[in-house]
Amino acid sequence: MFKKEDIKNIREGLGMTQEAFSRRIGVTVTTVSRWERGDCLPKSRVVIEKIEKLKKW
């Protein structure tokens, strides 16, 4: 499970904007923004797996 700081750190570590990151994992920019604010966190197994793969990239 990710924390809000994890999402932002992964995205920034990859040098991606919220828009590029959202396109890469198949969610909206609004969703990424909400994750980073801590309003909600990724729950979909598919999305979590995509983020994990990017994290290793």
CA distance 53 to 18: 17
Dihedrals φ, ψ of 18, to 5°? -60, -40
Angle at 31 between CA 55 and CA 35, to 5 degrees: 60
Banded model confidence at residue 57, pLDDT cuts 50, 70, 90: confident
- Torsion angle (degrees, nearest 10) of CA 12, 14, 19, 20: 170
Residue 10 token pair: 């992964």
pLDDT in tens, 6-49: 999 999 999 999 999 999 999 999 999 999 999 999 999 999 99
Specify the CATH superfamily of domain 4-56: lambda repressor-like DNA-binding domains (1.10.260.40)
Q: Cα–chain-centroid distance for residue 4?
A: 9
User: Domain limits of the chain?
Assistant: 4-56
Please state the pTM of the whole predicted model.
0.92
